[in-house]
Structure 1
C-alpha cells in the first residue's frame, strides 16, 4: 500500500498541508460553548457533538454515530477500516469544556478564538478540542491511505467526571475495541520537549458539614461558651496538614518519582505564585506534584463578610479535593479521609460528609513495542528530542475505565498542552508550534504501528 512507502518527510509535508483547515475547524469548535457542567448549555454540548460528527464524516469514515446512555451527554464514535490484519487504534479526545468563571480575567473573549504571540487562546483551545483537531489533522494527512484501522471516540462528559462512560463503553464495546488506545488529553514536558504520561493521581472529593447549633444565636449573649460552626470547621481544615504543609491523614499511600527537576522559575511562572510564596510539603517538586497525596479546600459555604451580623454561625460546609497517589486506591483514600474528619471534629460538634465524586489513579507500564513506536514518533516530530516519561498531578479517571473495559489494549497518554497552557484557568491557550509537532507525532505513530 502507499502508506508503506511514506517516509517521515512525506508525512511531515502532508501534515503541513492539512494544518490550515484543521486550525479553522478548531476555531469553529472553540466558538461552541460546550460547558458540560452548565445545565443551561446542554444544547451547546449537543451542538458540539453534531459539529464533531460532521467533521469526521467529511473524512469518509465508514460509520459515524452520536451516542448517549442514561440521558448522559453525547459522544461521537467514528470508524474507518485500514489494511487487512493491521492493528486497530482508538484515538480519544473530549469535546466538552470547563466553565470560564469570571470573564474579566480573560484578555480576550473566552469563546472567540484569538491568536497572540504564537498561541491560540480560548476555552477548549487546548483542553481538549485541540485533541480533536490533532485527530483530524492525522486523518487528513493520510486520507484513504491509513496504515491502521482507526476508531475515533470523542467524549462529551470528561469535565464532569465521565459519569456515564462505563456504561457507554459496555454498550458499544464492539465498536470501540482496539489494540492501542491513544488518549490525547495530557501535556508535554515543556516547549520543545515531548512527553508520554505514565502516571496520574486519582481524586476523592467530598463535602464536609460541621454543625454546632440548631439555629444562630447572638454572639454577645453566647460567645465564649458556645463554639460557632466556622471556628469548628476551621480547626477541622487545619488538622488536614502538618506545619510543613504535608497532608496529615494517616494511611494514605505515596511513592517515589523520577529524578527530574522542574526549574524554580518555571514553577513560579506556571503556577502564578505570588512573590515570596513558600512551597509546602517535603520532597522534590515532582514527588509532591505526581506521586504524593495533595489536599485542597475548593469551596466554602458560610455567611458573606459584607452584611454579616453579630450571630454565631450554626453550620458551615467545605468542599475537600484530595488527589491520591498513583499507588493508592479510592477505597483506601476515602476510608482514611473520613476517619480523619470524624476524629478531628472539635468540642463535640456534629460532623457529616458526603462524597461528591471520585476517580481512580492510573499507572502505565511504558515498556513494549507500542511505547517504543511512540518514542520514535515523538523524537522525530520534535527534531531529535526524545520524550520524557512524566507523571501528572491531575486526574483522568476515565483511563481506569478504558483499562477495565479493554484490558488487552495498550494505553498511550499523549497531549497537546505545555506548562503555559493554563487548562481550566483564564486565558487558556494552545501553543501552535507545539500543536503542529503533536499532530505530526500522531501521524508518525500510526505509520509506526502499521509496521508492527
Structure 2
C-alpha cells in the first residue's frame, strides 16, 4: 500500500466511523466522573466501566480496572480507577502505549455555562461539554485510531497496543508513580502517546516538546492570636490580608517578572508567538500590560511564572468589621525545563522568610512537585509523529512548548527511560479546558484521529 493510498484509506475509514465516534464521545461526556475526594466516587467508577466496555468492544480481551492505594500522612488514599488493556506485539514489532484520562474537572459556577455541562451539545463546528476536550476526546482519538488501524491493515497488523486510561489526572495523579511501578509489565512500550495537550491553533497542529514544572503550596501570615474589632484596634495593627498582600507583592518585580533569586530560564525558543494572537487566545482585556520580559513564547514556556490561585479570606457577603488574625494564599509556581522543583521551592521559601513584614509571623507549606519535561525531536518516533501530523493537517506542525505542567511525564521518563514520549492533543486556544463552556473543535478532533492512525500504521509497517 503506497503512502498516499494508506492516507486515503485511513481518512475514508475515519469518515465512515465519524457518527459512531461522536455518539460515543457524547455518551462519555454525560458521565460526571470527578476524582476529587469531596465528590461522589460512583460516577468516576461508572466512567471507568464505560471505557473498559469500549475497549472490550474494540476486541481487547485483557482489560482491567485498577485503583492503586497509597499511604499519605498516615492515611490510606484510594486512587482513581484506571483502565488497562493490551494486545501483545508480534515478534519483531514494536509496542505503543496510549495514555489519556477519563476523569474531569468540576463544573465550577454553573451560571457561567451556556449549556448543560454534562450534556454534549454541538454548536457550529464545536462540541461543548465538560470533558469534551479534556480529555475524553483524547480517549476517543486512541480508541478510534486503533479501530481504524485494524480495519485498514487487518487485525493481524502485529503492532503491540496498550491502553492506560487514568482516572485521577485532574486530582493531581496522587497514585501515579506507585501505579507505574506496580504495573510496569503492562505499561512498558517503545513509544508512549500522551493525548492531553493542545494544538497551536485551528488548522495548525503541534507536537508538545516541553512542559514547565510545578510547585504549589500555601503561604500565610499571622498578626494576632484571635480576631478583634477593627474599629477598636485598627490603625496600629495591620490586618492579616493586608500584610499578606504586601508579601505577595514582593514575588514579582516592576515588570511583572518573577523576582525570586535562583529561578531563571535555562532554555529558549525561536518560535514566534504574535502578541495579537496571545491577547486573543488568553482573552486579555483591552489595554492590559503584559508582564515579564523577552519573547512571549519564552515567557510562556521557559520562564518561571507565579500565580496566586486561591485565598482564605472571607467573601464580601460574609465580611464583618473585624481585624483578621491570619490569611493564607495558595500559590502555583511554574518552572522552565531544567529547573529542579525542590530547589525552586527552597528559593521561594528563602524569599518569603527574608521579607520584612514588621514582625508578622510568616509560614509556607509545599504541596505538589512536578518535574519539567523536554522532548528530543530527533528521536525516530518523534519524527514519525511530526510526519503524521503534517500529513493529517496538510501543514507543517509546530514544535511547541506548553506553559502548563503534566507532572507525570517525568515519572514516565524515569520508569520507562527507553520509551519515546510523545505529547499530542485535540485542544485549541479556545477549548477552555477547566473553564466554563469547555469545547472541542470537531475538525481538529478528526485530524487528530487521522494523525494517530497514520502514526500507528507507520509503526506497524516498520
Task: Name the TM-score, length of structure 2 as normaliser.
Answer: 0.94
Indicate if the aligned counterparts of 2:149 and 2:457 stay in contact, CA closer than 8 A.
no
Q: Where has structure 1 moved over 6 Å in runs of 4 or more? A: 2-6
1:165-186 Cα deviation digits (max 9, x unpaired): 1111111111111011011111
- How far apart are 1:341 and its partner, in Å? 1.1
Which of 309, 314, 319 aligns to 2:330? It is 319
Mapped to 2, the partners of 1:245 and 1:84 lie a distance apart of 56
2:82–2:164 contact (8 Å) kept in structure 1: yes
Instruction: Give the structure 2 partner of residue 79 of structure 1.
Output: 86
Q: Which residue of 1 aligns with 2:74?
A: none
Is contact 1:34-1:96 (8 Å) kept?
yes
Range that drifts further, 298-307 or 360-369: 298-307
Query: Which residues of 2 match residues 198-213 of structure 1 at below 5 A?
Result: 198-213=209-224
SS at match of 2:456: helix
Selected match of 1:96 from 70, 85, 103: 103
**In the alignment, structure 1 residue 353 sits paired with structure 2 residue 364:** yes
The corresponding residue for 1:195 is 206
Matched residue of 2:422: which SS? strand
Match of residue 410, structure 1, among 409, 420, 442: 420
Q: Cα distance, 1:274 vs. partner?
A: 1.5
Q: Secondary structure at the match of 1:86?
A: coil
Q: Distance in 2 between matches of 1:91 and 1:183?
A: 7
Give RMSD over aligned pairs.
1.7
2:391 alignment partner, one of 375, 380, 389: 380
CA contact (8 A) 1:204 1:330 kept: yes
> 1:365-402: CA deviations, max 9, x gaps?
1112111111111111012x111110000000110111
1 CA distance for matches of 2:274 and 2:239? 44
Matched, 1:450 2:460: yes
Distance 1:334 1:345 in 2: 20
SS of corresponding position for 2:17:
helix
Matched positions, count: 450
Q: 1:141 aligns with which of 142, 145, 148?
A: 148
**2: CA distance, partners of 1:379 / 1:115:** 27
Q: Could you tell me how far 1:145 is from its partner in structure 2?
A: 4.4
How far apart, CA to CA, are the structure 1 residues paired with 2:137 and 2:123?
Answer: 17
Q: State how 1:3-402 maps to structure 2 within 5 Å.
A: 7-37=6-36, 39-70=38-69, 71-143=78-150, 144-344=155-355, 346-383=357-394, 385-402=395-412
User: For each residue in 1:393-427, what CA deviation from the matched residue of structure 2 results, as whole angstroms up to 9, or x when unmatched?
Assistant: 00001101111110111111111111111111111
Offset at 1:355?
1.8
Output the TM-score relative to the length of structure 1. Answer: 0.96
Shift of 1:147: 4.8
Q: Which residues of structure 2 form unaligned runs of 5+? A: 70-77
- Return the alpha-carbon distance in structure 1 between the equivalents of residues 318 and 168 of structure 2: 38
The Cα shift of 1:353 comes to 1.6
Q: CA offset at residue 146 of structure 1?
A: 3.6
Could you tell which deviates more after superposition, 47-56 or 190-199? Answer: 190-199
**Runs of 5+ consecutive residues of structure 1 not aligned to the other structure:** none
For residues 54 and 324 of structure 1, what CA distance do their matches in structure 2 show?
39
Which whole-Å CA distance do the structure 2 matches of 1:302 and 1:386 have between them? 49
Deviation at 1:267, TM superposition (A): 1.6
1:82 is displaced (CA, Å) by 4.1
